[in-house]
Amino acid sequence: MKRSLQTGLVIWTAFLVYGTAMAEFKCFYANLHAHTGYSDGESTPDTAFAHARDIALIDIQALTDHNNYTDYSISSNEYQNTRLTADTFSVPGRFLALAGQEVGRWSSTGFGHINIYDAPELLSYDYGDLLGTYQIIDKLGHPAMFNHPVPGSNDCPNFSDLRYYPDFVQAMDLLEMVNGDYIYENEYLKALNNGWQVGASANQDNHDRNWGNRINDDGRIPLTGIWADTLTKGSILEALQARRTFAWLSHPAAGRVEVSLRSDDRWQGDHYITSSSRLSFQVRARADSVAFNRIYLFTDGKISDSLVLDDRDTVWSLTREMPSGKHYFFVKTIQADTGLAWTSPLFIDVMPYDAKAKVITWPTPVVESCQIVYPPENGATNVRAVIYDVAGNKIWENNSTNPSAALNWNSRDLKGNLVPNGLYIIKIEQSGPAQTSISTGKTAVSR
């Protein structure tokens, strides 16, 4: 832990300016992991949603009963009833009820538990087949979360020890770094260091009638903060998949907390490429009643900067000079009453300024999959990547409406076959209303 001498540190008092910039998202509070009597919890969805809305006073409650082929697994009819009840309880701008399901078994032959939100029906999957389940989630395209990733357990492989599979980086959106009484900060770091791009979530995993206000043994309540446009299902699901979240563990009397991490116009959870090695960050931490004592910036899994303070509302601006490569940054806050919060990371890829080509891949040579890295163009609204073999045959193509998007290539052709070892040419087209720019490069595949 250190206060970096390389970073500029400014405590902003002009919150008005920053508040104006922050106005695009509002903070909503969610409990994304809970059960009812449809599996191994109590009561019914309508009771649970009403409790979360009227007693716990949270904004979003997800019911995620077990779908795991056991005698307490939710049935298809019960799941559909949960969905109908959720629709009934959801009122835009006031409360969002979500139907989810918790797939997987906690056993030596299982892989762990994963929550999937708003799927149209109960998923059919093999509880012993982690990759097959990732594939189903990836194809479904709905938000998904690693639940309570207990480390080093002989009881369960813990998602193959959170092994990273590049093909499924889009499948998983969140990691439950707080589940009830347990904090999984080390597993959060392990997942990020392995390559997963997951955001932070804190939930209660309710099995009793305390949806949204389960108080842990130490007197704190976990909740997930979500930055979204509006309190509607579409906005919240988008925010979950964008990882625009923070995990929060606080005493009930302390009121609410808001924590955000931004880099210019980017929010926590974003993944993007930049040509600049000088990165600027703005951390906003605001609490209703209990002051923050410490704010830490984690860089690539380690604390790189810290701020000591005694303030309920602060903006911490800092800059860092980063070498080229993939980096991630997140913030952890500590309040005077031991309240904790962790933001989702900003995933930032810094282009090397002296690369031999404008378009490169990480890694080079490619073994299984790679990320295509290119200098982003201002004003671009679409990115198209095309890969050719050395004879000019089109091998692969991808289009994205996310400018400066990180594009992954799994070294397969358009039909899904692994391409042979050899050299491949990459063309990136970035187009916007005014112009289209083209960058090229090449990479090699060597397995």
Partner 1 sequence: MRSIILFTVLLSGLVSSAPGGVMPWNQPASPAEIALSGAVLDLTSEPQGLSLNPALLAGIKWKGISSSGILWPMDIYGGSVSGVFPIAQAGAAAGISYWNYGQLDAYDRVGGRLGTIEPQTVSVLLGFGRRLYGNLSGGINLKGAVFTIGSNKDYSWCSDLAVSYDFRHLTANLQLRDLGPRYPVNDSLKYDLVKTFAAGVNRTFFKDRLAASLQINAAEYQKWHPLLGLEYSPLKAVTVRLGYDGDDNKPERSKLGLGVCFRQTGKQDYSVEYGYRSWGVLGTAQAFSLGMSF
As given in the structure block, the two tokens for residue 402 are 């996310």
> Does 446 interact with partner 1 (rule: CB under 8 A)?
yes
Helix (H) or strand (E) holding 189: helix 185-194
Q: Which CB, 128 or 195, lies closer to partner 1?
A: 195
CB-CB neighbours of 197 under 10 Å: 21
Of the residues 119, 360, 380, 406, which one makes contact with partner 1 according to CB under 8 A: 360
Of the residues 59, 205, 349, 377, which one makes contact with partner 1 according to CB under 8 A: 349
Question: Measured at the alpha carbon of residue 104, what is the angle toward residues 102 and 107, in degrees to the nearest 5?
Answer: 130
Choose the binding region for partner 1 from 137-145, 258-266, 289-297, 346-354 (rule: CB under 8 A).
Answer: 346-354
Helix (H) or strand (E) holding 167: none
**Burial of 347 by CB count in 10 Å (0-12 exposed, 13-18 middle, 19+ buried)?**
buried
Residue 65 Cβ vs partner 1, minimum distance, rounded to whole Å? 37
Per-residue interface string for the shown chain with partner 1, residues 361-400, x marking contact by CB under 8 A: xxxxx-------x------------x-xxxxxxxx-----
Choose the binding region for partner 1 from 79-87, 263-271, 279-287, 413-421 (rule: CB under 8 A).
Answer: 413-421
Choose the binding region for partner 1 from 246-254, 263-271, 275-283, 351-359 (rule: CB under 8 A).
Answer: 351-359
Residue 281 Cβ vs partner 1, minimum distance, rounded to whole Å? 19
Residue 188 Cβ vs partner 1, minimum distance, rounded to whole Å? 18
Q: Which CB, 43 or 364, lies closer to partner 1?
A: 364
Q: Which CB, 30 or 279, lies closer to partner 1?
A: 279
Residue 421 Cβ vs partner 1, minimum distance, rounded to whole Å? 5
- One-letter amino acid of 119: A
Of the residues 163, 326, 358, 384, which one makes contact with partner 1 according to CB under 8 A: 326
As given in the structure block, the two tokens for residue 77 are 């009819």
Q: Which CB, 21 or 414, lies closer to partner 1?
A: 414
- Strand 9-12 and strand 96-103: the pairing is unpaired
d(CA 390, CA 296) in angstroms, rounded, equals 48
Of the residues 63, 271, 425, 430, which one makes contact with partner 1 according to CB under 8 A: 425
Instruction: For residue 128, give every residue at least 6 positions away whose Cβ sits within 8 Å of its Cβ, in sequence order, or none.
Output: 109, 110, 111
Q: Which of residues 136-195 bind partner 1 (CB under 8 A)?
A: 195
Residue 362 Cβ vs partner 1, minimum distance, rounded to whole Å? 5
Residue 414 Cβ vs partner 1, minimum distance, rounded to whole Å? 7
Q: Which CB, 312 or 326, lies closer to partner 1?
A: 326
How many residues bind partner 1 (CB under 8 A)? The answer is 46
Contact 143, 101 (CB under 8 A): no
Q: Which CB, 291 or 355, lies closer to partner 1?
A: 355
Query: Collapsing DSSP states into helix, strand and coil, what is residue 428?
Result: strand
Choose the binding region for partner 1 from 104-112, 118-126, 141-149, 324-332 (rule: CB under 8 A).
Answer: 324-332
Q: Which CB, 24 or 321, lies closer to partner 1?
A: 321
Of the residues 84, 215, 253, 414, which one makes contact with partner 1 according to CB under 8 A: 414
**How much is the CA Rg of the chain, to the nearest whole Å?**
22
Residue 280 Cβ vs partner 1, minimum distance, rounded to whole Å? 20
Phi/psi of residue 353, nearest 5 degrees: -75, -20
DSSP string covering 382-405, please?
Answer: EEEEEEEETT--EEEEEEESSTT-
Q: Where would I find the beta strands (DSSP E) of 264-312? A: 266-267, 271-274, 278-287, 292-299, 302-311
Query: Collapsing DSSP states into helix, strand and coil, what is residue 52?
Result: helix
Q: 274: alpha, beta or left, given left = phi > 0 and alpha = psi -120 to 50?
A: beta
Of the residues 325, 379, 400, 435, which one makes contact with partner 1 according to CB under 8 A: 325
Write down how long the chain is: 447
DSSP one-letter code for 43: S
> Does 421 interact with partner 1 (rule: CB under 8 A)?
yes
Of the residues 99, 287, 350, 405, which one makes contact with partner 1 according to CB under 8 A: 350
d(CA 79, CA 334) in angstroms, rounded, equals 38
Phi/psi of residue 136, nearest 5 degrees: -65, -45
Q: Which CB, 297 or 395, lies closer to partner 1?
A: 395
- Write down the residue that tokens 């009771």 correspond to: 47
> Does 215 interact with partner 1 (rule: CB under 8 A)?
no
What is the binding site for partner 1 (CB under 8 A)? 195, 324-326, 349-350, 352, 355-357, 360-365, 373, 386, 388-395, 413-415, 417-425, 427, 438, 440, 442-444, 446-447
